[in-house]
Amino acid sequence: MIAYASRTGNVQYIVSQLQADNIEITENLMLCQPFLLITYTDQLGEVPIKVSQFLKNNYSWCQGVVASGNLNFGSQYFGGAGDKIANTYNIPLVRKVDLRGFKADYKAIQQFYETRVIHENVLEIK
């Protein structure tokens, strides 16, 4: 499962390039299975509020994080949401993606998803 938050459509586009079940984060969403989080970066390197709220109840299922950002704001802020989430919850930062990303980004994300998230879900079911 991929759980995602998209404000401008960039993250939604990234998710559309992946072969995975996905769900957009809503205020009271609760997941009971391993997932990959894909989020945008808010303001200057901040985690979006709705993503922070979602993680309070779901972080234990999160296998990794991908953060979309914009390099035009500077490398110190680029994908900052991913850095903060990875550090706070001790999960892997899979990738920082500039805006909608590129094929190499989608390939790396898909590979992580297949080896880490799907694998963890199969272990959980057994």
Question: pLDDT tens-digit profile of 44-101?
Answer: 899 999 999 999 999 999 999 999 999 988 888 999 999 999 999 999 999 999 999 9
* Structural domain boundaries, residue 86: 2-125
- Does the pTM surpass 0.75? The reply is yes
If you write DSSP's letter for every residue of 53-120 in order, what string do you get? HHHHHHGGGEEEEEEEE-GGG-TTTTTHHHHHHHHHHT--EEEEEETT--HHHHHHHHHHIIIIIHHH
pLDDT confidence bin for 23, thresholds 50/70/90: very high
CATH code of residue 28? 3.40.50.360
Query: For residues 81 and 58, what is the distance between their CA atoms, to the nearest angstrom?
Result: 17
Query: For residues 88 and 56, what is the distance between their CA atoms, to the nearest angstrom?
Result: 11
* Domain total of the chain: 1
